[in-house]
Amino acid sequence: MLTKRIIPCLDIKDGRTVKGTNFVSLKDAGSPVELARLYSEQGADELVFLDITATSDKRKTLVSLVESIARVINIPFTVGGGIGCVEDVKALLEAGADKVSINSAAVYRPELINELAGKFGNQCIVLAIDANFVNGRWKVYTHGGRKETEKELFSWAKEGQKRGAGEILFTAMTRDGTKNGFELEANKILAQTLRIPVIASGGAGNMQNFSDVFLQTGVDAALAASVFHYKEIKLKELKLKLKKDGIAIRI
């Protein structure tokens, strides 16, 4: 049985880790390099780094920060934010990233998924999807949750898989930062209809929330930020609880 993964997420703005609620009201949460080192030492299975306000003029800053983080961790490392072409991915992988997360650029030019998967392999490409439940539909948003699109979560995830994405990282915007628990129904549909791994994101508030998302949806990984950044949940204690609940996890 494949073990489930716990993934701390570093949302980066201007070189610092930040965290908000429903994608707004961002607060400083510390040094990304120090947090990355801490999570690696505490037993995180992977790490995700998202430059949530990335633009082309910040690319150099992003690469140097990726290099600094890669030097202090020994776990798989996914980087996203402002990625729009093969050259962007090449620079990040050379800086120490193991995988890249693409979001807005893929929504507006889906062929990007094919290009990147063809060049670097499916295992390198994570399709991140930010979706909000609007009028009975899970609508996809871009630009850090600021722009609504006509795409729908489940059809876009299937298209991403077909085009070569190796994983889907789904953030339920309705849950983000609320600490009310992960979105169970949508994650269950994704896990049941896709062949590739699904990472659940948005809503972690306590250890039971992690057990619930694994036991009730079938997702492969759960991602969280503030509960780890502010030490509300300790990774080792969380993993012991998950194991006690019968969930296959690496201790």
Catalytic residue annotation: 11, 130
Q: Which residue has the tokens 């090449």?
A: 90
| Listed residue (250, 226, 215, 221) closest to 236, CA to CA | 250
Q: How far apart are CA 119 and CA 19, in angstroms?
A: 33
Q: Which residues contact 155 (CB under 8 A, 6 or more apart)?
A: none
- Comparing C-alpha atoms, which of 178, 182, 169, 135 is closest to residue 23? 178
Residue 62 near residue 54 (C-beta atoms within 8 A): yes
Q: Which amino acid is at 92?
A: L
Kindly report the backbone phi and psi dihedral angles of residue 163, in degrees, each rounded to the nearest multiple of 5, phi listed first: -80, -15
Q: For the beta carbon of residue 246, count every other beta carbon within 10 angstroms.
A: 10
Separation CA 179–CA 60 (nearest Å) = 34
**Could you give the CA distance from residue 176 to residue 178 in angstroms, rounded to a whole number?**
6
